[in-house]
Amino acid sequence: MSEYILEVENLQKWFPIRRNISQVIKRERNYVKAVDGVSFKIKRGEIFGLIGESGCGKTTTGKLIMKLLEPTGGKMIFDAQDVTYLDTDAVELYKRKVQMVFQDPYASMNPRFRISDVLSEPLLIHKIGDSREDREARAIKALEEVKINPPEEFMERYPHMLSGGQRQRIATARTLILSPSFIVADEPVSMVDLSTRAEILHMMKEVQQSLGLTYLYITHDLSTARYFTDRIAVMYLGKIVEMGPAGELIDNAKHPYTQALIAAVCEPVSGNVNRIKEVPIKGEIPSAANIPHGCRFHTRCLYAKPECWEMEEPMLEEVSGVGHLAACRRWKEISGEKGKVSETA
């Protein structure tokens, strides 16, 4: 059995843009390249973080893995099976193994359903459980796993009767009820009070460890990613620009974009815990319909030189010998210069 549960290779999702008359005549086609050649592997039992600003393609990547979108190109291998393109029956089976925790737990629940109905719904869809009693027993077990106590009492409640933290626990219980092996968690704590975030992430980590699950954690928040994940990949404009073990990547970031994200992490300043420092990069993120030539970050990079936009896009390369990769010419130059100094010393 492979040590990797998920292998993503050169994954692409391009959305066609409506053409004007002259483009139709010239037979030109333009695309928004939301995901533009993403590759990574996730080990069994690992928590892998996908980080970046909004619009970088991280949620689209999650949706491709969840089979909510069809890829334009690339390959996805899950549990040694090619899942890039699946027929309807195969998608249903796949979705029992791969579940998603959404950003807004309230929007993902029918407000007229009691919690017992919310939890029984996926069982009914996937035709699991012999009877109502059986499904309720499974629901209670799932509530116990996410530390909802006493579970019997919560079964009768409606979503509006719960706090944000309790709703996110219920949303997690609903994914667990199908006994998945892989969970895509897309900003699972961004709608939860700051004071409850650590509690929810702690619960998710306990569940992951006790059930041997693998998570893809999608977020813009590097501070929770450092605490919660084993490895992190940083996405910019549809592509991964840096990847490595969580602590190493954050303490020793090599790509100017990652360095800028770290510098912009939330700071509890003067009691205002939501204050976000300005990202120390210039300009706006370019359109994914018009990705800059060469290094796609060069229009915002403080260290950009002509070769950054004139030459081919830099590839991800090992920068520290511990599985830490970065796609930046500057780092290669700096490490090359260091190497020369040590050779002559």
Contact footprint for ligand SF4 (CB under 6 A):
255-256, 295, 297-298, 301, 303-304, 308, 314, 328-330
Which CB, 6 or 241, lies closer to ligand SF4?
241
State in angstroms the smallest separation of the CB of 316 from ligand SF4: 12
Q: Which two tokens stand for residue 308?
A: 């950054």
Which CB, 221 or 242, lies closer to ligand SF4?
242
Which CB, 182 or 297, lies closer to ligand SF4?
297
State in angstroms the smallest separation of the CB of 332 from ligand SF4: 9
Which CB, 31 or 309, lies closer to ligand SF4?
309
State in angstroms the smallest separation of the CB of 307 from ligand SF4: 8
Which CB, 13 or 255, lies closer to ligand SF4?
255
- Give the β-pairing of 325-326 and 31-43: unpaired
Q: Which residue type is seen at 239?
A: K
C-alpha to C-alpha distance for 242 and 184, rounded to whole angstroms = 20
**Is 234:325 a contact under the CB 8 Å cutoff?**
no
State in angstroms the smallest separation of the CB of 199 from ligand SF4: 37
C-alpha to C-alpha distance for 97 and 198, rounded to whole angstroms = 26
**Is 38:205 a contact under the CB 8 Å cutoff?**
no
User: Exposed/middle/buried for 169, CB within 10 Å: 0-12, 13-18, 19+?
Assistant: buried
State in angstroms the smallest separation of the CB of 330 from ligand SF4: 4
State in angstroms the smallest separation of the CB of 147 from ligand SF4: 43
State in angstroms the smallest separation of the CB of 83 from ligand SF4: 33
191-222 per-residue burial string, b: 16 or more CB within 10 A, e: under 16:
ebeeebbebbbebbbebbeeeebbbbbbbbbb
State in angstroms the smallest separation of the CB of 295 from ligand SF4: 3
Which CB, 113 or 303, lies closer to ligand SF4?
303
DSSP state of 280: S
Beta bridge partners of 249: none
C-alpha to C-alpha distance for 262 and 90, rounded to whole angstroms = 40
Which CB, 6 or 304, lies closer to ligand SF4?
304
Cα 37–Cα 38–Cα 40 angle in degrees, nearest 5: 145
C-alpha to C-alpha distance for 161 and 60, rounded to whole angstroms = 32
C-alpha to C-alpha distance for 316 and 243, rounded to whole angstroms = 8
Positive or negative, the CA dihedral 100, 106, 111, 114 is positive
Which CB, 147 or 332, lies closer to ligand SF4?
332
Which CB, 94 or 297, lies closer to ligand SF4?
297
State in angstroms the smallest separation of the CB of 31 from ligand SF4: 22
